[in-house]
C-alpha cells in the first residue's frame, strides 16, 4: 500500500511539473479526480494581509473569501499548518483542507472534497504531500505568470507596496535549527519598512530596515538599502563590512539627506553564537524561559547618514528554546492619536502572551495588537516584524 501511495505521489509530482504555469489548478483537479475521486478541488491563497484565503478562479473575478481566524476549517489548516478533515452533511464525503507550505513559507490551502478514503487509498498524509508539491510549483510559476500574485490581492497594491513585496525573501522559512515568520503592514500600502534573510549551511543572516519617509520615496530608498546589503553579503564579507558598503551606497545616492536605519544579525547555526550591527532604530526582543527582555546593543548611526562610517559588530548568544522578535520603529515607536507610543511594555506583553503560538502567528499578532492600539483600520505608519524560534543544531549524540 505504501509503495502504491509513493508511486501515485511521484506520478502526480511529475504531472504538476509538466503543467503550464497557469494550469496548475486544472492539473491538480484532474489528478485528484483520477486518484482519489475528488469531486471538487479549491485552491485558496493567503492575501497580503494574511487575513483571508482567496480562491483562485478566472481573474479578475474571485470566489468567496475564507477568513483565516474565524474558526473555518480552511483557516484552521492554514494557521496550524496541519491538515483539517471536515465531515460534511453528505454521508461518506469529507473535505480535506491541506496547508500549502513551502520550506516554512505559508502560501494557502488546498481544499479537496472526496469520498472517505478506503483502506489502501491515498490518505491525508499523501494528500498533504501533494499539496506541498503543488506549493513548490506555485513558487516556480510566479516567475512566469501574475495569476497567483493577482489572486492574493483583496485590492490593488500601491506602487511602493508592489516594490516592497517583490523584495521579500518570503514570509516564512524553516529548517532544523530555526523557524522564521515575518509580516508587513499596511500590507497594501507599505512604503519603507522591510526585512530580508539568507541561509548557508553554517549561518543565517537577518536584516530589518526602516526606509525613511513614505510612499515611493521610501520604497526606492529601501530597495537601494536591501540591494546593497545583498550585494555585500553575496561577496562573502563580514557583517560589519556589509553595513559599511551599504552605508556608502546610500550616502553616495542621497548625500546624507535620506538614510535607512537597519539591524543586521548573523547566527552561527552550529553554536548559536551571534553578531549584531545596530545601525538605527529596529529593536530586538528575546523570550527565554517565559521572560521577555529587550536585547540592547551599542547604537550606531543609520546606514547612509554619514560618509564612510565604520560599523562594529557586537556578540550575543541564542540557546535552544529562545524566541527572538525584531520590530521596526513603526512598531515600537509609532504614536497613537493621543501621542503615546506603543512602547516596550506593550511589546513585551504581546510577545509573552503569544509564547505558545507559532513564529508566523506571533508576527501577525504583534501587528494586530499595534493596529488595535491605533484604533483599528489601516496602520498610519509602516510596520515590520520578524519572529524567530531557535532550536539549534542537534549533535550526533542528541
- Please give the C-alpha separations between residue 13 and each of 1, 17, 152, 174, 317, in angstroms, as whole numbers: 18, 6, 24, 22, 41
State residue 344's pLDDT score.
83
In the chain, the DSSP E strands lie at: 40-46, 52-55, 66-67, 84-87, 93-102, 105-115, 172-175, 178-185, 193-199, 203-210, 262-268, 273-279, 283-288, 291-295, 314-317, 323-327, 383-390
State residue 318's pLDDT score.
98
Q: Is the pTM of this model over 0.85?
A: yes
Residue 85: beta bridge partners? 96
Q: Please state, in angstroms and rounded to a whole number, the distance separating the CA atoms of residues 300 and 310.
A: 9
Among 388, 183, 170, 167, residue whose Cα is nearest residue 269 = 388
Phi-psi map region of 377: left, alpha, beta (phi>0 left; psi -120 to 50 alpha)? left
State residue 52's pLDDT score.
95
Q: Please state, in angstroms and rounded to a whole number, the distance separating the CA atoms of residues 128 and 133.
A: 9
State residue 57's pLDDT score.
86
* Cβ burial, residue 154 (10 Å; 0-12/13-18/19+): middle
Check if the beta carbon of residue 171 is closer than 8 Å to that of residue 351: no
Q: Please state, in angstroms and rounded to a whole number, the distance separating the CA atoms of residues 325 and 357.
A: 13
User: For strand 193-199 and strand 178-185, is the pairing parallel, antiparallel, or unpaired?
Assistant: unpaired
Cell of 4: 502504491
Instruction: Give the DSSP per-residue string, 341-365.
Output: B-HHHHHHHHHHHTTTS-HHHHHHH
What does the pLDDT look like over 263-309, one tens digit per residue? 999 999 999 999 999 999 899 999 999 999 999 999 899 999 999 89
Low-confidence ranges of the chain (pLDDT < 50): 1, 398
Q: Please state, in angstroms and rounded to a whole number, the distance separating the CA atoms of residues 310 and 303.
A: 10
State residue 239's pLDDT score.
97
State residue 1's pLDDT score.
46
Cell of 215: 510612499
- Please give the C-alpha separations between residue 154 and each of 61, 73, 144, 180, 295, in angstroms, as whole numbers: 11, 21, 21, 25, 37
Q: Please state, in angstroms and rounded to a whole number, the distance separating the CA atoms of residues 287 and 349.
A: 11
Check if the beta carbon of residue 138 is closer than 8 Å to that of residue 100: yes
Among 239, 218, 221, 187, residue whose Cα is nearest residue 363 = 187
Amino acid at each position: 500500500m505504501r509503495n502504491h501511495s509513493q508511486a501515485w505521489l511521484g506520478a502526480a509530482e511529475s504531472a504538476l511539473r509538466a503543467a503550464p504555469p497557469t494550469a496548475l489548478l486544472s492539473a491538480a483537479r484532474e489528478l485528484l479526480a483520477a486518484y482519489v475521486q475528488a469531486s471538487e478541488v479549491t485552491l485558496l491563497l493567503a492575501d497580503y494581509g494574511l487575513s483571508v484565503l482567496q480562491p483562485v478562479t478566472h481573474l479578475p473575478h474571485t470566489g468567496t473569501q475564507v477568513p483565516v481566524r474565524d474558526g473555518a476549517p480552511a483557516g484552521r489548516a492554514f494557521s496550524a499548518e496541519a491538515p483539517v478533515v471536515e465531515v460534511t452533511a453528505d454521508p461518506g464525503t469529507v473535505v480535506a483542507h491541506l496547508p500549502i507550505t513551502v520550506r516554512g513559507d505559508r502560501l494557502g490551502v488546498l481544499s479537496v472534497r472526496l469520498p472517505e478514503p478506503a483502506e489502501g487509498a491515498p490518505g491525508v498524509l499523501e494528500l498533504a504531500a501533494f499539496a506541498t508539491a503543488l506549493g513548490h510549483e506555485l513558487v516556480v510559476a510566479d516567475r512566469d505568470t501574475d495569476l497567483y500574485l493577482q489572486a492574493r490581492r483583496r485590492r490593488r497594491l500601491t506602487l511602493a507596496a508592489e516594490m516592497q513585496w517583490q523584495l521579500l525573501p518570503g514570509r516564512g522559512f524553516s529548517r532544523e535549527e530555526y523557524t522564521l515568520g515575518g509580516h508587513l503592514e499596511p500590507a497594501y500600502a507599505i512604503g519603507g519598512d522591510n526585512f530580508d534573510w539568507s541561509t548557508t549551511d553554517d549561518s543565517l543572516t537577518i536584516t530589518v530596515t526602516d526606509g525613511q519617509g513614505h510612499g515611493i520615496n521610501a520604497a526606492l530608498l529601501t530597495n537601494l538599502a536591501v540591494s546593497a546589503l545583498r550585494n555585500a553579503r553575496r561577496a562573502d564579507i563580514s557583517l560589519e563590512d556589509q553595513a559599511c558598503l551599504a552605508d556608502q551606497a546610500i550616502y553616495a545616492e542621497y548625500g546624507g539627506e535620506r538614510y535607512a536605519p537597519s539591524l543586521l544579525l548573523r547566527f552561527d547555526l552550529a553554536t548559536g553564537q551571534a553578531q549584531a550591527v545596530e545601525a538605527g532604530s529596529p529593536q530586538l526582543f528575546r523570550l527565554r524561559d517565559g521572560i521577555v527582555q529587550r536585547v540592547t546593543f551599542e547604537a550606531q548611526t543609520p546606514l547612509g547618514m554619514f560618509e564612510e562610517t565604520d560599523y562594529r559588530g557586537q556578540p550575543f548568544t541564542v540557546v535552544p528554546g529562545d524566541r527572538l522578535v525584531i520590530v521596526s520603529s513603526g512598531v515600537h515607536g509609532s504614536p497613537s492619536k493621543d501621542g503615546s507610543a506603543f512602547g516596550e511594555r506593550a511589546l513585551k506583553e504581546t510577545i509573552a502572551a503569544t509564547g505558545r503560538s507559532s513564529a508566523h502567528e506571533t508576527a501577525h499578532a504583534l501587528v494586530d495588537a499595534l493596529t488595535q492600539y491605533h484604533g483599528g483600520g489601516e496602520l498610519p505608519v509602516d510596520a515590520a516584524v520578524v519572529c524567530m524560534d531557535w532550536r539549534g543544531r542537534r549533535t550526533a549524540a542528541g
